[in-house]
Structure 1
Amino acid sequence: MSLSPFHLAIPVHDLAAARHFYAEVFGCTEGRSSAQWVDFDFFGHQLVIHQAPKMPHQEAAHTNAVDGHDVPVPHFGVVLGWEEWERLAERLRAHEVRFVIEPHVRFQGQVGEQATLFLLDPCGNALEFKAFKDIGQLFAH
C-alpha cells in the first residue's frame, strides 16, 4: 500500500512542553519553526504544533465506548507496523507516559483485530496508535 503523507496542524497552549514531548518522548525530528509553531516528522507525516489558547476538547475530551473502553474524541494518530507499534509502546512506557487506554489488543479474535493505545500530549490533545497483524483488515467491517 502506497500512501501520501498527511499534514495535520494542532493547537498547543504550551509550545515548549509540546515541543519537548514530540521531540523527546516520540523522537520526532524537528523541521521548520517559528516563535508560534514547530513542524515535526511524525512517523513520515507532517505534524505542526501551533501556539493557541486552550481548546474545550483539551480541557476534558468527550468519549465514546469502543470494545469496553472510553475512547477520547477528537483524537489522531498513526497506524504502524506491529513491531513498530510494540517498540513505540515500550518507548512510551520508558518515558513513563500516562496512558488514557493502556496498550492492548482490541477486537481479539474478530475481524479488525488490532493493537491500540491512547495517550494525551501535555496540552490535552488525544493520540491513538494502532497496528494490525493483517493490514488488509484496516477497513474491514
Structure 2
Amino acid sequence: MALAPFHLAIPVSDLAAARHFYGEVFGCAEGRNSEHWVDFDFFGHQLVIHQAPKMAYQEAAYSNPVDGHDVPVPHFGVVLGWEDWQMLAARLKAKGTSFVIEPYIRFVGQPGEQATLFLLDPCGNALEFKAFKDIGQLFAK
C-alpha cells in the first residue's frame, strides 16, 4: 500500500511568524490561505497553520527521556530519506536555527538506529525530523 499524505492542522499564535518559518526556513510551498490560516506542502503532506491563542503545551513543553535526551511532547514531523535529512539539517544550521535536540544519530548500533533533530516553531510547536539508512528499521524492536 502506497503512503498517503497526512493532513495536520496546528495552532499558531503569530500567523505571520509561523508563515515565514514554514515558508522560508523550511522552504515549504504555500497553498490555500485566508487571514486566519495558511496551508503548506510540508514534504508532500498538508500542514495547516491556524491563528489561535497560545496553548499551554506551547508555553512549556512536557518531555520524556529518549536515548539520553528530553524529547518534547507533543511533537510532529516527517521521516525523510537519509540524504534529504542531511540537507535539511544543514539548511537549518545555516539559518541559525536553535535546536531543542541538535541533529545526531540516535540508538546507535540498536534496532531503529536513526538520524533525528528537534526544534520549535516560533509559536512553540515541537517538530522532529528523522531518517533511517534502512527504512525497514522504522518499526524495529
Same fold (TM over 0.5): yes
What is the CA–CA distance in structure 2 between the aligned matches of 1:22 and 1:125, rounded to whole Å?
Answer: 12
What is the Cα deviation at residue 131 of structure 1?
0.2
TM (normalized to structure 2)? 0.99
* 2:54 counterpart residue number: 54
What is the CA–CA distance in structure 2 between the aligned matches of 1:115 and 1:83, rounded to whole Å?
Answer: 11
Instruction: Write the deviation string for residues 31-64 of structure 1: whole angstroms up to 9, x where unpaired.
Output: 0000000000000000000000000010000000
Query: Percent identity among equivalent residues?
Result: 81
* 1:85 counterpart residue number: 85
* 2:21 counterpart residue number: 21
TM (normalized to structure 1)? 0.99
What is the Cα deviation at residue 2 of structure 1?
2.2
**Equivalent runs, 1:27-46 vs 2, <5 Å:** 27-46=27-46
Answering whether residue 11 of structure 2 is matched by residue 11 of structure 1, we say: yes
Instruction: Write the deviation string for residues 47-103 of structure 1: whole angstroms up to 9, x where unpaired.
Output: 000000000010000000000000000000000000000000000001101000000
- Matched length: 141
What is the CA–CA distance in structure 2 between the aligned matches of 1:95 and 1:35, rounded to whole Å?
Answer: 27
Contiguous gaps of at least 5 residues in structure 2: none
SS at match of 1:40: strand
What is the CA–CA distance in structure 1 between the aligned matches of 2:54 and 2:127, rounded to whole Å?
Answer: 17
Contiguous gaps of at least 5 residues in structure 1: none
What is the CA–CA distance in structure 2 between the aligned matches of 1:85 and 1:2, rounded to whole Å?
Answer: 21
What is the CA–CA distance in structure 2 between the aligned matches of 1:31 and 1:41, rounded to whole Å?
Answer: 7
What residue identity is the alignment partner of 1:30? E
Please tell me the root mean square deviation across aligned C-alpha atoms, in Å: 0.7
Segments of 4+ in structure 1 off by > 2 A? none
